[in-house]
């Protein structure tokens, strides 16, 4: 399952947090599959774009009715995810999180201190949805998303190979889960990363990436050539050869036997007459 590889609960200091098969994680994956493409793209941006903020900056958003919503943990491509009692609650909270994040993602250079704090120097600052207002945040004693909410929550990490190199990493993962070619996908992600961030790579990193990409491309070419050769090596399908015997020539019908010549009735009568004449003469 590509989504299972993409979204993994992270181990928290002191234990606790989410586990891979618990309902909140299952619901999250189901909702992401059901989302339209634009919403999935917003979700990826929500988790991955916040690292552009200063290190250790934490943003917490709470709805008016007091329900915590998922928030992004800066610089680590992690999602602070509370536990929810139902899929419907999480399904309602995700759009709120995406809508609330647009302000920060669009104008992160002008963040107000009321919305973003640097908890490294303070007692905890904004703690993410699981931590409430106090003991959360990277510098607080409870760790990010450490308690509160519906049974606490935890951090969900996004795979950097998918998301860090490709803004549409979630889309790519969904394509893989639907039967896409994983090797080809990884080649495309590597190539896109090199094209988009080539100027920022160190020389060694660039050479490693280029070498890896070249190796993967050569492997793909070899596989394609081997498949083509195997098809060429196969004998063409044999046509069914049937022995056709030409029909024997029809025999001409045998000629009918000629009828025997009939005896002449005139000569017989004459002969008979002669015989009887000779007999009469002898008797005289």
Tell me the catalytic residues: 75
- How do strand 58-59 and strand 116-117 relate by DSSP bridges? antiparallel
Among candidate residues 21, 34, 26, the one with its CA nearest the CA of residue 170 = 34
User: Cα separation of 212 and 200, whole Å?
Assistant: 18
147 phi/psi in degrees, rounded to 5: -165, 180
User: Cα separation of 221 and 269, whole Å?
Assistant: 115
CB atoms within 10 A of CB 177: 16
- Chain-centre distance of CA 60, in angstroms? 35
User: Cα separation of 18 and 152, whole Å?
Assistant: 9
Residue 30's Cβ-count burial label (10 Å; 0-12, 13-18, 19+) is middle
CB atoms within 10 A of CB 135: 16
- Chain-centre distance of CA 244, in angstroms? 53
């Amino acid at each position: 399952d590509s989504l299972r590889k993409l979204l993994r609960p992270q181990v928290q200091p002191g234990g606790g947090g989410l586990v891979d098969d618990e309902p909140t994680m299952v619901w999250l994956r189901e909702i992401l599959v059901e989302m339209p493409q634009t919403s999935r793209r917003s979700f990826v941006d929500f988790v991955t774009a916040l690292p552009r903020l200063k290190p250790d900056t934490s943003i917490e958003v709470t709805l008016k009715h007091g329900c915590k919503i998922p928030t992004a943990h800066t610089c680590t491509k992690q999602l602070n995810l509370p536990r929810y009692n139902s899929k419907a609650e999480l399904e309602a909270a995700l759009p709120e999180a995406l809508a609330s994040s647009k302000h920060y993602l669009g104008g992160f250079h002008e963040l107000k201190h009321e919305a973003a704090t640097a908890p490294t120097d303070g007692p905890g600052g904004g703690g993410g949805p699981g931590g409430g207002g106090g003991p959360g945040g990277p510098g607080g004693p409870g760790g990010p998303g450490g308690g509160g909410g519906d049974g606490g929550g935890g951090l969900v990490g996004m795979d950097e190979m998918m998301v860090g190199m490709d803004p549409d990493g979630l889309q790519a993962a969904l394509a893989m889960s639907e039967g896409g070619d994983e090797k080809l996908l990884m080649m495309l992600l590597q190539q896109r990363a090199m094209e988009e961030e080539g100027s920022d790579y160190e020389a060694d990193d660039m050479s490693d990436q280029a070498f890896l990409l070249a190796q993967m491309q050569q492997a793909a070419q070899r596989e394609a050539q081997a498949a083509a050769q195997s098809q060429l090596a196969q004998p063409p399908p044999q046509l069914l050869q049937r022995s056709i015997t030409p029909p024997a020539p029809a025999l001409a019908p045998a000629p009918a036997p000629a009828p025997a010549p009939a005896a002449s009735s005139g000569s017989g009568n004459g002969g008979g007459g002669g015989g009887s004449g000779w007999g009469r003469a002898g008797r005289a």
